[in-house]
Amino acid sequence: MPLHLEIVTSDRTVFSGEVDMVTIPGSGGVMGVLPHHAPVLSTLKPGELRVKIGDEIYEYAIGGGFVDIHDNRVIILADSAERADEIDIARAEAARQRAEELLKNPPANKEDLFKLEAALQRSRVRLQVARKHARPPAGT
């Protein structure tokens, strides 16, 4: 019996379907989920989410959120989620550089500092996932 996985953000359903396994960046560490997993409700940290369907593995960059696991269903409510092939490496690199530059003179407001650090972490995750799965140019 496979798992039913849903990956949802505030503006779209990123994935909905049957999978064999999902690996999730939980706030307490990476969590592998197979059919008949014990019920779990947990927060997620920014990281790579991996989905196994048959012999194929699909990667997503997520920006944190929540996961609810019960009755062979995995529901991920993500702050942001992108498939590896959707990530624009140049845009993610520009976001990383912008956040690093702003952190050279960090804001005094702790909330602004937290948002800036979170943006840097999200851009690093996006770059890691995109670069890991980028295909080399033809002829190389």
Cα–Cα distance, 115 to 7 (Å, whole number)? 23
Q: Which two tokens stand for residue 110?
A: 């702790």
pLDDT per position as a tens digit, 38-95? 999 999 999 999 999 999 999 999 989 999 999 999 999 999 999 888 888 888 888 8
pLDDT computed for residue 103 by the predictor: 81
Instruction: Give me the chain's average pLDDT, please.
Output: 88
Domain positions in the chain: 3-84, 87-133
Secondary element (H or E) of residue 92: helix 89-103
Cα–Cα distance, 136 to 58 (Å, whole number)? 18
What's the CATH number for 87-133?
1.20.5
Q: Which two tokens stand for residue 23?
A: 């690996």
pTM: 0.80
Q: Which two tokens stand for residue 74?
A: 């995995």
- Is domain 3-84 classified as CATH 3.30.930.10? no
Cα–Cα distance, 63 to 132 (Å, whole number)? 17
